[in-house]
Structure 1
Amino acid sequence: MPAAVPRTRTHAHRHTHSRRRVLATGLAAAALLATGAVPSFAAGGRRTRTALPAARLPRPTGPFEVGSTVLHLVDPARTEPWLPDGTARRELMITVRYPAAPGGSGRREPQMTAAAAAHFGGAEGAAVLNLGMAPDSVDWAATLSHARRDAPVDPRAGRLPVVLYSGGLGDPRTWNTVLVDDLASHGYAVVTIDHTYEATEVELPGGRLATMRIFEGAPPTDPDAISAVLRKVVAVRVADTRFVLDRLPELNRTRFGDVLDLRRTGMFGHSAGGFTAAQTMHDDRRILAGINMDGEMDYVGGELPDGTRLSTVALEGLDRPLLLMGTDAEGSGDYHHQPSWAAFWRNTHGWKANVTLTGSRHASYTDAELLLPQLARQGAEPDGGLAAAVGTVRPERAAAASRAYAASFFGRWLRGHDDHLLDGPSARFPEMVFTP
């Protein structure tokens, strides 16, 4: 999710230079695209040599290898909500990661396709990502996942619980590949969803590149108008997710040999995707359990949240398990400091827990936590410094914690295997602080 719309708020234990988890923070960066403006970057972040810095993703920790299938879906019941002509149907790209049979010869999938990577790291993409990386300073196309294209499913994994993933506003579905691949290696089918024309870029069949189009004309500045855009963003995301849920039974039969156990379906997301996971749970009972990674659950456009623009999931809560995962950035952390989380906490009668990753920032729950430090060591440091982008938590510890808590949560609620990590503070992960 892009950088924050400035707010005035002070907590003695918070840091003010950080990316906000609020959904509205995408609007400032999207406005740059709408007006054609591109932010300036520190000269030190630019690279002139031919070989650009590149980074690697760590291997998954589970017992299974990982396979990957990319699918193009068209919703015949919906017109494209972000295009003005009203004739195009809504198109989505999804990727399914799953346990793969060992020893296959399929090539490793890149984190992003070449066209998507070029846009992601170019001037427009950098404006939306807004982690302070200079345009064209990184070879994003060189980063490989550990998944093999269309590898056969490993029969030893048995029936696979299904977990959906939605990224932050502006983020592509590939921006949490580390955690997605790790869950797949532990025996889950993980379905990642690109929200077309809202993400920085989505490569559609035929090489078509759909870039962010959430405004018609100039972006709004009035808080009520911004709030209306945010409501539409979430409504579109929830509709996208429910359409994918509708299509999974057919895909299960035709592509996956009926190994997906759709009776055990969960969802997680980062930032706006965390909001999407919670709101979809509220609207659709097919989602049994969810994780909200640093996503506010209101429609606030730039001003300090005051609890007046709360979502229905915040106002009515849930009767099924949801884990809130906050960061150590300003206004984040625990439900005591954010009106939508506080309302959700009061109104939720299902299982809930709230943990905070000490020393983290908003992007710490994405691939940025592991990739940006590698790139900084090669000279491609974010403008403003590495700590401003991903905090001071050790990258390998942040990744280990995210993997462990996601696996523990879905293991408990989709598999019935409770490792008790979520019972309270753990000596294994002192970086994770529980909020009582």
Structure 2
Amino acid sequence: MNRRTLLSSGAGLAAALALPTAVPATAVPAAVPTAAEAGQEEPVRFQLPAPNGPYPIGTVALHLVDTARPDPWTPARPHRELMISIWYPARARPPRPTAPWMPPAAADRYLERLGLPPGRVRLGDTHGHEGAPVGGPPGPLPVVLHSPGADASRSFGTGIAEDLASHGFVVVTVDHTHDAAAVAFPGGRVETGPPGGIDDYAAALTVRTADIRFVLDRLAVLRAGGRPGVCRTPIPAGLRGALDLGRVGMLGHSLGGATTAATMLVDGRITAGASLDGGAAGPVVDAGLDRPFLVVDTPGKGGMENNPALRTFWSHLRGWRLHLTLRGAAHQSFGDDALILPLLAPLLGMSPSDLEDEVGTIPTQRTQAFQRAHPRAFFDLHLRGRGHLLDGPSPDFPEVDYAR
């Protein structure tokens, strides 16, 4: 049962909602009855673990409009609209509120599409302080783009984005509108994907590639002192000067990994790319790439061993390359899914075997350790020229297989 199945099914959820969860209740004043005392269940609460870098984090969400192309999924709309979030190291103790993990309007729609009633699940805040001034190491800083999997939103890459930002990177997470499950725009409008998710992956790959190239164009406008978006969101102090667009990496999960490879083929502005359990499709399979590329897969059906197109792509990589396999992991072991799915499983009627199919048997803390250490090591190496974690097998990560 994957996200596509979850979003296209709602049957049998009423009975599942009565199941208890392992999430503890939040303490409340004694005079206020808890939900359990009032005859209601405690909501399931999701909260990202704190990043482990030395810098606090700032974030800003921007609304972008590409006036050069209509929306390919809804041709009646004359322009392509995107939402992005920029994550960056901030000054110490920024006196700003933290951003929600997913904008409330999008979160409500996302949970509704899963068949969950209002208030049953609470998606917490991030560690990113909205609009905080840029801090961290002396800039400009390397930039990493993040593209999520199909039917996911940019929120599902927040854990990786926060960790990279806390170590001195600027990270840009992208919502691919009408491919993502739910995207909230300023003013409360929410755009969703089709019921059951997209099914034309070739078209999605083309759209996503154009999306990423447009985002890079707008980042260049921001760096040059212009206004990249259409709304009047203030640009955080220091952000323009923090962007080093000569050191740009890209990272994606699943279809986002394929998007990374496809975009690198047609856009030389991306210096290095990493794919978390993503395939390869389109011209890049046979053309290959001449820049660094990291392939991370799992032992399951989507891995190198069982994916001829991915093997062909790998054989045509002419630059630095590394293939890592995370033993015990499954397709949703990457990104924030690995943390959220175990919380939602009882509510969605997922059996233990269903959950194992999605997140594998590897302990969650090990997947989190992997996706904090290895993407950062890759971008440290190729955007900063430092680090040795990827030189070969590490005793700190015995579940990781290395191949070149």
TM-score normalised by L of structure 1: 0.80
Counterpart of 1:173, as a letter, is R
* In 2: Cα distance, 1:389 partner to 1:42 partner: 22
Counterpart of 1:196, as a letter, is T
**Is residue 325 from structure 1 mapped to residue 296 from structure 2 by the alignment?**
yes
Contact 1:46 1:137 in 2 (8 A): no
Contact 1:161 1:261 in 2 (8 A): yes
Distance 1:366-1:45 versus aligned 2 partners, 3 A rule: farther
Extract unaligned runs of 5+ from structure 1: 4-18, 20-25, 127-133, 221-225, 299-310
Contact 2:141 2:244 in 1 (8 A): yes
Q: Which residue of 2 aligns with 1:81?
A: 72
Counterpart of 2:135, as a letter, is D
**Is residue 162 from structure 1 mapped to residue 173 from structure 2 by the alignment?**
no
Q: Which residue of 1 aligns with 2:356?
A: 387
**Is residue 249 from structure 1 mapped to residue 239 from structure 2 by the alignment?**
no
| Deviation by residue 1:288-325 (Cα, 9 ceiling, x = unmatched) | 10111111123xxxxxxxxxxxx211111100011011
Counterpart of 1:332, as a letter, is G
Q: Which residue of 1 aligns with 2:317?
A: 348
Shift of 1:435: 3.2
* In 2: Cα distance, 1:189 partner to 1:383 partner: 37
**Which one of the candidate residues 102, 111, 132 is aligned to 1:112?**
102
Counterpart of 1:61, as a letter, is N
Q: Which residue of 2 aligns with 1:238?
A: 209
Q: Which residue of 2 aligns with 1:308?
A: none
| Deviation by residue 1:57-79 (Cα, 9 ceiling, x = unmatched) | 11101111000010000001011
Give % identity.
40
Distance 1:138-1:389 versus aligned 2 partners, 3 A rule: farther
Shift of 1:384: 2.2
**Is residue 178 from structure 1 mapped to residue 149 from structure 2 by the alignment?**
no
Contact 1:72 1:204 in 2 (8 A): yes
Number of aligned residues: 371
SS at match of 2:155: coil
Contact 1:45 1:383 in 2 (8 A): no
Distance 1:44-1:214 versus aligned 2 partners, 3 A rule: closer
Q: Which residue of 2 aligns with 1:62?
A: 53
Name whichever of 344-353 and 39-48 sits farther off: 39-48
**Which one of the candidate residues 376, 389, 396 is aligned to 1:421?**
389
| Deviation by residue 1:346-376 (Cα, 9 ceiling, x = unmatched) | 1111111111111111110021212334566
| Deviation by residue 1:374-396 (Cα, 9 ceiling, x = unmatched) | 566xx547512232331111111
Shift of 1:110: 1.0
Matches within 5 A, 1:3-82: 3=2, 32=8, 38-41=10-13, 43-46=15-18, 49-82=40-73
Shift of 1:184: 0.5
Name whichever of 348-357 and 162-171 sits farther off: 348-357
Contact 2:145 2:172 in 1 (8 A): yes
Contact 1:160 1:261 in 2 (8 A): yes
| Deviation by residue 1:178-211 (Cα, 9 ceiling, x = unmatched) | 1110000010110000001111110012100001
Shift of 1:88: 2.4
Q: Which residue of 1 aligns with 2:31?
A: none
**Is residue 190 from structure 1 mapped to residue 171 from structure 2 by the alignment?**
yes
Extract unaligned runs of 5+ from structure 2: 20-38, 227-234
TM-score normalised by L of structure 2: 0.86
Distance 1:242-1:411 versus aligned 2 partners, 3 A rule: same
Contact 2:44 2:122 in 1 (8 A): no
SS at match of 2:260: helix
**Which one of the candidate residues 293, 297, 300 is aligned to 2:280?**
297
Contact 1:55 1:375 in 2 (8 A): no
| Deviation by residue 1:149-190 (Cα, 9 ceiling, x = unmatched) | 000000534221000000000000001211110000010110
Q: Which residue of 1 aligns with 2:246?
A: 263
Greater relative contact order structure (CA < 8 Å, 6+ sep): 1
